Structure 1
Amino acid sequence: MAIVIRNSIQEITLQLLQYIHLANKKNAPCGVILAPCANMNPKTLEQAKVLISKNVAFLPVQLFYDAPNQVLCAVLDGGTLGSTHYASLVLKDFLQTQHLLQGQLRVSSFPESGKPTESAIADFIQQVIQSKGNDDDIHFFTAANAETSVLIADPDDLVREFIKIRLELKGYRVYEAKDGQEAYDTFVRIMPDIVITELNLPILDGYQLIRTIQRKDSHEGKVIVLTDKQLTGSMSRAYESGAADYVTKPLSISELEWKIKRLTGNH
């Protein structure tokens, strides 16, 4: 007699897949919100469900808590990416008020965000688990490009947020840094596939960051400079430091994504 052994990630993956496939069989999308939480009891779970139901009354909501991985799962039958994102804002506010949120929320909708395969859903869950201890922002998950990680280094909060949201909607895993030192520390920790950096960075400037990355990992061909410096001398110096490409502001997200795909071979 064969004995099937499932790990905790596989259990929650299969449970989510069941919800998603049931919705998709009805030709309806299925929105999913995942959040790393501690100590979710039945009472707080019901409170969260009631709150979401009041704010998105047109969508049936199911909530369950995976205790082994400490992940809260909210499933919205018929939820598009837009409506699921709205529900995640409501859920985030509740979890913060209750001091339960331990990291980043992840939001997705299937099939809008990609094909809901077992490997894609498992990666979705892993990203949430790995976000524990990080900021409590909301990030989008898309099955396509989900394995490509991007680090954005820019002192401008609005620029970082704009790029992050647009790339996450395309399915990239995005990390942020506001200065050169934070960017390097993050690079060492996560080893991203692509680094997008402004040249005007505090502490370590963009040129220093590129050279430091090269010494650490020979990350040749993986750094894209994104800057408002359009002088020929700045471009030459960036390439000499080890940059693989150069994009000037105001940027085109389509152009930036094309350059990312070209450098990662993900055409």
Structure 2
Amino acid sequence: MTSADLHTLTGAYALHALSDEEREAFKRHLAACEPCAQETAELSATAARLGLAVSLTPRPVLREQVLRRITTVRQETPREPALSRSGRKSLPGRLLSRWALAACLAAAAALGGTTVWQHQRAEDALQEARQSVQETDRIAAVLAAPDARTRATTLPGGATGTVTVSDRQDKAVFVVSGMADPPQGKVYQLWFDDGGTMRSAGLMDPGRSDQSVLMHGALDGASGMGITIEPTGGSEQPTSTPLALMNFPA
């Protein structure tokens, strides 16, 4: 493989699509080629953003409720209320008008309450979207950091995992592909390995087989990471034998 060939492998390297031999050759090339190192970091960050992209669809609850209420209200033609001998509206007519007014007010209040509820739901969804974007930006910052170092491994079940560490960011990102679903009522938990002492680094999303996770907390001198299966909500300390233990790249 020539030096010219190596310049064309930045995209394949960022997507983990190289063979072991090609990957080792390209890593040696990166150490001496600043343009390729920069392009690889940018492509890795872009791949992470695409993998974490989310879309939010507004819930049609308000429309459904309004349409459902319409079917329960029958429109009638106006009728003149009966008059008493004094020429005033009779009591039944006055009561009917009051009940109609009360019903309208109640319907307006209910619809207003639904609108407020819908507004709150929209605000919650917007806040979740903002948090997702912020998380994506933090992940991209680690992957694109000039001092980012990466190590890949094969996990049980054939999944592949890659950890990227940046001392400058004092953070680590774990990217996994093909992860099997955890057992019912369980979740994958990440850990920093502080010389044999495990420190929680957050939970993985149990519903996604491919994901990028910003490990919670600072590196703080950790030498590696581990993955265990824990009860939903996570544990303060590992309660099972680690599925995988990885040393951070030097």
Please tell me whether Structure 1 or Structure 2 has the larger radius of gyration of its CA atoms. 2
TM-score normalised by length of structure 1: 0.26
Give the structure-2-normalised TM-score: 0.27
